[in-house]
Amino acid sequence: MMNKRCYYEVLGVSRNAGPDELKKAYRRLALKYHPDRCPDDPEAEARFKEASEAYEVLSNPEKRSIYDRFGHAGLQNSGYRGFTSASDIFSSFSDIFDDFFGFGFGSSRHSVPRGEDARFDLEISFRDAVFGTTQQIEIRRLIVCPSCRGSG
């Protein structure tokens, strides 16, 4: 695993930075390193991802508390994996536009966060692949209790 830089260092803010200071620092870096502004610079894309991940953690009070107490290892043990896809990054960037200008990139601030995609491997015959088929599958999944929000 690569060593990650301190999220406060990434954003260039102090450990006691408030939400407005975090947002301002992230916005500055996101605009500077956005892939659309630097399409041929892989370093800029990496910095954009790093800044987006730092902002995602530090702007969330629960994740920030875990990070402040345990660092990057605490986030790994809590199930936070960082950004795994472009949609993760751009959803964070969209939140900034929503906060500043009242709009994002097609997402609503009030929408439920999307979880991981479910995956199911199913073997079918060549004939079914060519002509089509309908199969019934059963997938078990965990849900968060609405009354306690999974806290027990």
The rounded distance, in Å, linking the Cα atoms of 128 and 151 is 45
Q: Which two tokens stand for residue 12?
A: 């260039």
Q: Which amino acid is at 1?
A: M
Q: Which two tokens stand for residue 92?
A: 């964070």
| Cβ neighbour number for residue 41 with a 10 Å cutoff | 13
CATH code: domain 7-101 is 1.10.287.110
User: What are the residue ranges spanned by the domains of the chain?
Assistant: 7-101
**Residue 6: predicted pLDDT:** 93
**Residue 106: predicted pLDDT:** 47
Average confidence (pLDDT) over 71-80: 73
**Residue 25: predicted pLDDT:** 95
**Residue 42: predicted pLDDT:** 87
Q: Does residue 56 contact residue 66 with C-beta atoms inside 8 Å?
A: no
pTM of the model as a whole: 0.52
Q: Read off the pLDDT of residues 5-44 as tens digits, 9 standing for 90 and up.
A: 999 999 999 999 999 999 999 999 999 998 888 888 889 9
**Residue 12: predicted pLDDT:** 96
Is the model's pLDDT at 55 over the cut of 90? yes
User: Phi/psi zone of residue 125: left (φ > 0), alpha (ψ -120 to 50 degrees), beta?
Assistant: beta
Average confidence (pLDDT) over 83-109: 51
